[in-house]
Chain A
């Protein structure tokens, strides 16, 4: 428990904010359908509840057909997060497998696997997605997950291949090979642990891509429109003129949810990046010493200068303060 607390304390602020934000959405995905006040698909026939403003009964108002927006949101987050995480895992495994093996084996295998990932990179993703899902829509989430995973791995594979190439030539890998370790042991024990932060950042990035792509595809109607996800809520809101009728409570909450999930993932990603290479953190930003900001490129600060270095206005103001009574030379003079 203390180890977890220690890790948490050392996380960059960005990663903390991102993790908390993403955690809120994961929580919503887990308990959302249980705590949703209504059935999201239930169209209340009461005419006063058609496109009603937010109220105590319907915290986020209702849709054109009298459905509860909050319930749709709570149910929809689960589907979107589920899909994105699945895509992240599948594409992540694919990119690690392809990237590490192609760099580690080298030669013909490297050529072949690089060729495959390059081909996948140049496939125009959006038209292909629209075409494929146009055929496969109405078959649930599975086609979306498969298509997004298949198109989402090559970026990660290239990055991981490059990193593996540099690690493969380090001395400790050579030592492991000389001592007769099997390739799979070298890969799993020497190489992958050294790029875990890269793999994590790549996973987070893929999840982000999956959320963006799946919401966009659902928004244009290329998904199973009978299920509730953030994208389908937006699809229905758009197709039933929520925007032109001014029903902000219908499209703002799902849009905001997508934006916040995206923000949290970006923060997590850059935070993981800094965690993996502390040099990024050290070279950025200034240290605070004796109340002064010192940059890494500044000369070594000298304490006497820092305390004496108030400007004239500062010294003037300081001369009125109670601390100035402790100064040996009055009014912020040479030395304290």
Chain B
């Protein structure tokens, strides 16, 4: 299936007086219709910059220095050709946002206006992007709350009268106001406890099945993605290190960084083992060294690592048949399955 959102070769920098901070460097990522792609990485790895840069939501000093972001939704037919979000004007972007690509922002506490009722905020989104008459817009707002399982009499509540989980649901409802085809979720459950987190994730999956949208799910919680996502992309220091299905990532992680992440939380089954973190801290993005950015923290780093060009290549068994069917890609050519099996890696 052809991707609905195709980010290719995207680089985003922040222009500062101390030089360009290369927050996202030549990233390729695709999102197919109805798919959940998880974007995972530690704080400052460029996950949010990637998503907001692709949708042109970053403020100066951010600057997109290279790449394409092709969007090909069902409704947006430019002669059957995908449109490039990076070539769009302000007005075209306004048309596209919310109706085609919607965003659930991080921390609902800050994203909802504390002095407006929930209803008014939902109406804002509905009237701005759907241009419905007043009474229909009201009905739409109410049905949006139904959608996320909040009772309609909450319409006249203020955000502080709702619990954290409810606020996050309101944010999700608001993003779905214009029936978008792609929803970007930026850590939508980070501030919630695990029980509420689970409820909301179940609801997201259910809504996705019903309304059929694709999700780009940004989080630093890899364990959560293993359960939720169809495909997972692991990001570090502005680069994608590995992409693969959730199964690929969980069963046979290819990149040493992914292995480190997986070793840093306990599994439910199997023998007890010592949890290991990843020592060290990420590099300065103003002046990343040549090759792999993970070298300083990598147990398996060798001299050849600084010549790695960080493009994603298939990992695992040699490709038989259609190369496009390969899902498990890694930027680390050093650690191959053979090396891995020889016991170099734990």
Contact = CB atoms under 8 A, between A and B. Distances in A.
Given A299-B90, A300-B53, A287 B60 contact: yes
B90 A298 contact: yes
A334 to B, nearest CB: 10
A282 B315 CA distance: 45
Interface string A265-291: 000000000000000000000110110
Q: Is the interface of B mostly helix, strand, loop or mixed?
A: mixed
A296 interface: yes
Nearest to B61: A287
B63 A303 contact: yes
A305 B68 CA distance: 12
Nearest to B92: A299
A289 B12 CA distance: 13
B60 A303 contact: no
B215 to A, nearest CB: 22
A303 B65 contact: yes
A300 B64 contact: yes
B140 interface: no
Contact of B86 (A289, A295, A302): A302
A303 B61 contact: no
B52 interface: yes
Nearest to A293: B60
Contacts of B60: 286-287, 289, 294-296, 298, 301
B93 A301 contact: no
Contact of A301 (B52, B64, B66, B88): B64
A289 to B, nearest CB: 5
Select the residue from B12, B53, B64 with max chain A CB neighbours within 10 A: B64
A304 interface: yes
A301 B65 CA distance: 9
Interface in B219-247: none
B90 A301 contact: no
B57 A299 contact: yes
Select the residue from A286, A296, A298 with max chain B CB neighbours within 10 A: A298
Contacts of A286: 60
B15 interface: yes
Given A289-B15, A302-B86, A296 B59 contact: yes
Select the residue from A286, A290, A304 with max chain B CB neighbours within 10 A: A304
B56 A289 contact: no
Contacts of A298: 60, 90
A305 B52 CA distance: 18
Interface string B276-291: 0000000000000000
Nearest to B89: A299
A303 B88 CA distance: 13
Nearest to A282: B59
Contacts of B12: 300
B61 A300 contact: no
A304 B9 CA distance: 13
A294 B62 CA distance: 10
Nearest to A297: B59
Interface string A153-184: 00000000000000000000000000000000
A264 to B, nearest CB: 28
Select the residue from A289, A294, A303 with max chain B CB neighbours within 10 A: A303
A304 B11 CA distance: 12
B116 interface: no
A300 B87 contact: no
Contacts of B64: 300-303
Contact of B57 (A289, A294, A300, A305): A300
A52 to B, nearest CB: 55
A289 B58 CA distance: 13
Interface in B86-126: 86-88, 90, 93
A296 B59 CA distance: 5
Contact of A304 (B52, B59, B62, B66): B66
A289 B13 CA distance: 11
A294 B59 CA distance: 9
A164 B62 CA distance: 36
Nearest to A294: B60
A229 to B, nearest CB: 45
B184 to A, nearest CB: 14
B224 to A, nearest CB: 28
Contacts of A300: 12, 52-53, 56-59, 62-64
A145 B155 CA distance: 57
Contacts of B52: 300
20 contacts: A286-B60, A287-B15, A287-B60, A289-B15, A289-B60, A289-B63, A290-B63, A294-B60, A298-B90, A299-B56, A299-B57, A300-B58, A300-B62, A300-B63, A301-B60, A301-B64, A302-B86, A304-B66, A304-B86, A305-B86
Given A300-B63, A302-B87, A303-B66, 17 more contacts: A286-B60, A289-B15, A289-B60, A290-B63, A294-B60, A296-B60, A298-B90, A299-B57, A299-B88, A299-B90, A300-B59, A300-B62, A301-B63, A302-B56, A302-B86, A304-B86, A305-B87
A-B pairs, top 6 by smallest CB distance, nearest first, are A287-B60, A299-B56, A300-B58, A302-B64, A300-B56, A294-B60
